[in-house]
Amino acid sequence: MTLSSQNSISMQSGSFYIAVWGCQMNVYDTSRIRGLLLSRGYTEVSSPLGASVVVLVTCAVRAKAENKVFNQIASWRHDGLVNQSTVIALGGCVGTELGHKIIEAGQGVSVVFSPMTIHRLPDLIETYQKTGQPVCDVDAGSMEKFDSLPDSGLRGVSAFVTIMEGCSNKCTYCIVPYTRGEEESRRVSDVLDECRRHLDNGALELHLLGQNVNSYRGLNDDGSECSFAELLYQVASLDGAKRVRFTTSNPMDFSQELVGAIGELPNVAQSVHIPVQSGSDEILRRMHRRYTHDSYLELIASLRAVRPDIRVSSDFIVGFPGETGADFEETMRLVREVRFDQSFSFIYSKRPGTPAADYPDETSAHEKKQRIYALQELLESYAREYSKSDLGTVQEVLVEGLSSRDSGELKGRTSANRIAVFKGDPSLIGKAATIKITDVLAHTLRGELI
Ligand code: SAH
Ligand code: SF4
Ligand code: F3S
């Protein structure tokens, strides 16, 4: 049933609307699904109203994320944006997590797929349309899709390239290993070919993606293994690769070889995302994160030794089962020591089937909220300081499009991952521009072209 078999490809007609939740890997998958459906004769529409197929690419990382998709379907149905004749295809991590249960729940979902089976989506839709029977197909090798998908057709100044799939770490709170399968890396030549295609199409930034992107171990053509640092050297030296980013790095596999590469490659972006989750050694141990408060600090110190201007952002989980006030203070201490830039923090959410779901959890919801407010306030204060330090500096931004607030302005992204808005001609979209930062707003910078 794979697309590599030319005979199985049939042109389908109809329109699709696609919505995405979750991480950048889902955004990447969405662009590949879009390319696939367009190549099969579908047209894309910007509202579910009137679309023959509505595709939902979902996230299961927290209960709240998972509920979003079902609330969305219910609200579209209530507002008459989808009806009995709309084919609703639900994929992403909730697809793998709940599988057949989604069909059985009677929410009108006709096709269930997963991050591993996106390449079969048109066939699944066709099967449903021919038989009228809902279909669920969530199992496949994680590399299969890469061998059978057409170009995404997406053009932009920054391009996502997934270099590995899945995760085998099994942190005790996390559902991802169960929704995206075992960790597997794409071949080096595949990754480089996809990067070159994006650069040929005008991209200036390559954004390498993986759940643990720095754990990459892909094969070279001669069968030898390539580390993430080695891959980074190759990607950063491609003609036209003005900027390279990578997300998400796991502290456990952040090698000194990689630190060295970041120090040597000036086009590696000035910001790096290294989720720490907690600053307490006891909590880290129970999370199965294989590093400590101090070893994390040493990693950041070594990065700053080779790139003093690098900004580190992170993810935090507050209220992991058994987290005491003293454990939480260790997290606050770590934040003060590292001075993180723009970070994400979440209250722990119980995920069915994960080990931590059975751990005793005596901290009240109220206490957890107090902790997360305190953490977010501290994180915000450092993010604001970094923004303020940009005032008056000259920055190169990659221009992504019109500003969403004021269409007379453009928006671009700095190397340190800040959105900057400025007045300029729309012909600059897709290009690099040099601006001087003239004002600092809550989450964006304002600048003027120089
Ligand atoms: N692979 C990355 C994280 C991917 S999941 C890493 O290991 O660093 C993205 C973020 O979601 C995590 O960093 C974590 O902060 C958060 N997260 C994952 N599971 C969670 C849960 N059960 N409750 C709350 N937050 C969670
Ligand atoms: Fe989840 Fe841990 Fe894997 Fe990250 S490393 S995706 S937190 S299991
Ligand atoms: Fe969510 Fe799956 Fe990404 S659970 S965070 S969409 S890997």
* 327-357 confidence digits (pLDDT tens): 999 999 999 999 999 999 999 999 999 999 9
Question: What are the φ/ψ torsions at residue 327 (nearest 5 degrees)?
Answer: -60, -45
d(CA 189, CA 220): 7
- Please choose from 23, 61, 296 the residue to mutate so as to test ligand 1's pocket, defined by most ligand atoms within 8 A of CB: 61
pLDDT of residue 294: 98
Give the residue whose CA is nearest to atom 5 of ligand 2.
169
Round the CA-based radius of gyration of the chain to a whole number and report it: 22
* Burial class of residue 376 in the structure, from the number of CB atoms within 10 Å of its CB (0-12 exposed, 13-18 middle, 19+ buried): middle
Nearest atom (ligand 1) to Cα of 23: 9
Q: What is the pLDDT of residues 108-141, one digit of tens each?
A: 999 999 999 999 999 999 999 999 999 999 998 8
* Structure tokens that stand for 315 in this block: 């993810």
pLDDT of residue 145: 87
CA angle (301, 303, 307) in 5-degree steps: 115
pLDDT of residue 319: 98
CB 443 within 8 A of CB 429: no
Q: How far does residue 210's CA lie from ligand 1's centre (Å)?
A: 13
pLDDT of residue 3: 40
CB 90 within 8 A of CB 82: no
Global pTM value: 0.94
pLDDT of residue 385: 96
- Other Cβ atoms closer than 10 A to 111: 27
CB 18 within 8 A of CB 45: no
Polymer length of the chain: 450
Write out residues with Cβ below 6 Å of ligand 1. Answer: 61-62, 173-174, 176, 211-212, 248, 250, 275, 277, 315, 317, 346, 348-349, 351
- Please choose from 171, 179, 182, 247 the residue to mutate so as to test ligand 2's pocket, defined by most ligand atoms within 8 A of CB: 171
Q: Which residues of the chain have pLDDT under 50?
A: 1-8
- Please choose from 180, 211, 344 the residue to mutate so as to test ligand 3's pocket, defined by most ligand atoms within 8 A of CB: 180
